[in-house]
Structure 1
Amino acid sequence: MTTSCALAISVLASTQSQAITVTEKAKKLAQENILVDTHIDVPYRINKKWEDVTQATKNGDFDYPRAVQGGLNAPFMSVYIPATLDNSDQSIMLADKLIDYVEAIVGRAPDKFAIARSPEDVRQQFAKGLISLPMGMENGSPIQGDLANLQHFYKRGIRYITLAHSQSNHISDSSYDLRRQWKGLSPFGKELIAEMNKLGILVDISHVSDDAFYQAIEISQTPVIASHSSLRKFTLGFERNMDDKMIKALGKNGGVIQINFGSTFVTKGANAWSKKRGADFKAAEQKLGKDSEAYKSFSGNYVKENPLPYATLDSVLDHIDHVVELIGIDHVGIGSDYDGVGDSLPVDLKDVSTYPNLVQGLLDRDYSDEDIIKILGKNFLRVWQENEDYASKF
């Protein structure tokens, strides 16, 4: 999802984080191992309103001090492109601008951050005490049907591409879009996946339709990822999440699902709230007019009168458990969607300082140290390395 990825949700902050006793062991596991989060929407956040995330910030879910506190050392910076920019050169311009922002973060604080273009970069920078900033493109719109653009963005550091976002584009149908113009992938989309494999750019199937998912894993010669998705088992009818059949196919492909933390992705109640909110706002806009004072009053008071039922840490852990039950420990990781899901984050996982809470929850559910290390980043690094190894043949 995102401010980039979903409905902009403004909710009451009355639900406070419950007290979790985080043991020294949990803190140590978070701090002493590579922790990869494959979807954090910092670039689009600072494009909307600049903040220096190399320092503590008042807003958002990510900054350097909180990342250090949480043990986060390899957050993928999401280069998010709104679906409205498909078939427009503006998509290329925005993508380059957001990459510039990531480079500016490193330029401001080279003692804290470094661009990462490979798993080896992440490992070396971790050893130096630097936070790696690899990049993924959320929405393949900037490719604009031209493989030269794929080469361009690879050279700029993009290492995964989410094929589509909230609307069908020139590459793929979207899970959010009732129009299924391609019945999966477009002819160019199929060609694109082969070229992504050859470069070592991971194929990200978050957001795409079910048909596009199955076509992508059939075409891809390397394991694919779901960079920020959760499970449809817990949100019946929500196509943006993956069902059990898809999870099993992902496991057979060798890929990994990175669990999205957003409450509307994680629980049935929050997901239903989001759908009702959308319907209520649409009805109010039609009845009152979007520019009317009555509509502004309605929108301003909505969440006060209809607070979001937040997910919890246990809700997120249930998603991890279910993936492990279906396809094993080697195919699940973290794709939080921090800075991308507004104020819909679960209790006890409100920003990047809270990964030790997740680790403690895993310990409490009897995950071994090695299993936790896999979830924190080892699984994703394996998939990334397999993509690199395949690309090295070309």
Structure 2
Amino acid sequence: MPSRVASTAIDLRRTILLSRRQFLKSASLASLAGSAMTWAEPLTARASAMHQQMLIFDGHVHALDREFYHGGSMGERSNQGQWDLVRAKEGGEKAFFLSIFVPEEYYPGRFETKQTLRRIDHAYRQLALNRDKVVLARKASEVQAAAASGRLAAVLDIEGSYDLDGDLGVLRELHARGLSSAQLSAHNWNQHYADACCSPAKANGLTENGRKLIREMNRLGMVINVSHSADTTMQQAIEVSDHPVVATHHGLRSVNDIPRNIPDSLLQKLAAKGGVLGIQIGSEFAYPKEYAWITEHRRKTFWDTTDIPTRVKGKSIYEVDELVAPGYPMLGAEVPAAVQMGVDNWVDVVDRVIRLVGEDHVALGSDFDGGPTLARGMRDVRDLPMITESMLRRGYSEERIRKFWGGNLLRVFGEIAGG
């Protein structure tokens, strides 16, 4: 990536008022006077000790968006965003699905495949730069070995697989480059093999080529990720796949009725196949009261991307870089205390999943630095122990907490990718 992108992006950050970060913060400053964005309260000794002993395997992290667009190393503590390797370790994380994120701005110019290769190259350079802190993992045993060595394990997962076009050759090439997981639908747009959650139906789920792609992912031992997929796509993927299917960062539609959340009936089908639902950590998915406030002040839903073709028309890939750079890292909204989600409200969603399908099918899919609005008192990944505290207060066993934090996702990753 040319160095001019990073420098131009810094200038743009100072001047462009329509970035996601500034747009959210300017939503209604007057109403934020009562905001309670406080630091985390002290934990009990039991929760703190138990948390650090857990294998915490996060199903979805935007680990490198900030570094790709603005430079720097994910191995250095940042005062921006919600996640870096230093803070992740302090928060107890041992492994994570590293999102290779290709947003919609790259689609109209058909730059998405090139951008995927650039992002994978960047990921490898960052992994090499921070080899003392993180290692690539393609099997469950490699996740465990990394944890034993004191390093985090990174599993490459593409978010926004518009580039695949259902092409099995492209899939095999990306797998050979280290991609272990692929989100079926494009980020929020349909493409040529799978419908997304937030676009009008095109294929009514999967095309025949989409079914072939799922069977090839099964053969390669790749995780099939149905987050962002349409209901029809999710249902058909579960039916076609020989392996369990994972929704890495999701919520429940019975909690908040939005297209990005999964209906209870599909959750039950996903679990019956052995799959796992990663719960996204933000209030937008998990807390209707706060979501309603955020939506009102955004003046559009967070998946509305209809203006993108006009904004990127005629731009080169480097100009697209400059256009999107100010939006990274993606931050959650600042909200008044009266509507703010608490950690216990978020754990209520975990409770509901367990009541519906049992404790073997739920995990964390935080979406850190992907825009989630965190619970009251949570600064960033460092405050994950607050969730352990909440779970202990409501009587969760240590076994259940272990399953949630990493046991379930590790089990499914092992079944799909091998031990």
TM-score by length of 1: 0.86
- List per-residue Cα deviations over 1:68-94 (Å, max 9, x = no partner): 211111021101111343476521221
Give the match's secondary structure for 1:329.
coil
Name 1:360's counterpart in structure 2: 389
Cα distance change of structure 1 residues 18 and 182 upon mapping to structure 2, 3 Å threshold: same
- List per-residue Cα deviations over 1:91-143 (Å, max 9, x = no partner): 12211222222222221121111111111111111111111111111122122
Cα distance change of structure 1 residues 387 and 141 upon mapping to structure 2, 3 Å threshold: same
Match of 1:252 among 226, 250, 272: 272
CA distance in 1: counterparts of 2:300 and 2:176, whole angstroms: 45
Give the match's secondary structure for 2:339.
coil
- List per-residue Cα deviations over 1:305-361 (Å, max 9, x = no partner): 98993322112101100010011100000001000016x222233311111111111
Asked if structure 1 preserves the Cα contact closer than 8 Å seen for 2:287 and 2:341, the reply is yes
Give the match's secondary structure for 1:232.
coil
Match of 1:40 among 50, 55, 61: 61
Q: CA RMSD in A?
A: 2.6
Name the amino acid aligned to 1:120: S
Cα distance change of structure 1 residues 160 and 310 upon mapping to structure 2, 3 Å threshold: farther
Cα distance change of structure 1 residues 120 and 107 upon mapping to structure 2, 3 Å threshold: same
Name 1:388's counterpart in structure 2: 417
Match of 2:24 among 3, 6, 10: 10
Cα distance change of structure 1 residues 25 and 157 upon mapping to structure 2, 3 Å threshold: farther
CA distance in 2: counterparts of 1:200 and 1:90, whole angstroms: 27
CA distance in 1: counterparts of 2:149 and 2:73, whole angstroms: 22
Name 2:195's counterpart in structure 1: 173
**Unpaired runs of 5+ in structure 2?**
1-19, 312-332
Asked if structure 2 preserves the Cα contact closer than 8 Å seen for 1:140 and 1:171, the reply is no
User: In the TM superposition, what is the alpha-carbon distance from 1:366 to its structure 2 partner?
Assistant: 0.7
CA distance in 2: counterparts of 1:32 and 1:38, whole angstroms: 18
Name the amino acid aligned to 1:319: V
User: In the TM superposition, what is the alpha-carbon distance from 1:281 to its structure 2 partner?
Assistant: 9.6
Give the match's secondary structure for 1:330.
coil
Name 1:350's counterpart in structure 2: 379
CA distance in 2: counterparts of 1:351 and 1:248, whole angstroms: 31
CA distance in 1: counterparts of 2:58 and 2:159, whole angstroms: 14
Match of 2:365 among 324, 335, 347: 335
Give the match's secondary structure for 1:338.
coil
Name 2:231's counterpart in structure 1: 210
Asked if structure 1 preserves the Cα contact closer than 8 Å seen for 2:39 and 2:378, the reply is no
Name 2:399's counterpart in structure 1: 370
CA distance in 2: counterparts of 1:139 and 1:308, whole angstroms: 35
CA distance in 1: counterparts of 2:208 and 2:291, whole angstroms: 33
Match of 1:241 among 240, 258, 261: 261
CA distance in 1: counterparts of 2:338 and 2:174, whole angstroms: 38
Name 1:138's counterpart in structure 2: 159
- List per-residue Cα deviations over 1:245-291 (Å, max 9, x = no partner): 11111111110000001111111122223433343699xxx9xxx9x
User: In the TM superposition, what is the alpha-carbon distance from 1:304 to its structure 2 partner?
Assistant: 8.5
Give the match's secondary structure for 2:384.
helix
CA distance in 2: counterparts of 1:161 and 1:280, whole angstroms: 28
Name 2:50's counterpart in structure 1: 29
Number of residue pairs matched by the alignment: 364
TM-score by length of 2: 0.81
Name the amino acid aligned to 2:413: W
CA distance in 1: counterparts of 2:142 and 2:335, whole angstroms: 48
CA distance in 2: counterparts of 1:369 and 1:281, whole angstroms: 38
* Percent identical: 29
Q: How does 1:1-394 map to 2 (within 5 A)?
A: 10-11=24-25, 14-17=35-38, 19-86=40-107, 89-164=110-185, 165-177=187-199, 179-236=200-257, 238-279=258-299, 309-341=339-371, 344-389=373-418
User: In the TM superposition, what is the alpha-carbon distance from 1:207 to its structure 2 partner?
Assistant: 0.8
Asked if structure 2 preserves the Cα contact closer than 8 Å seen for 1:223 and 1:387, the reply is yes
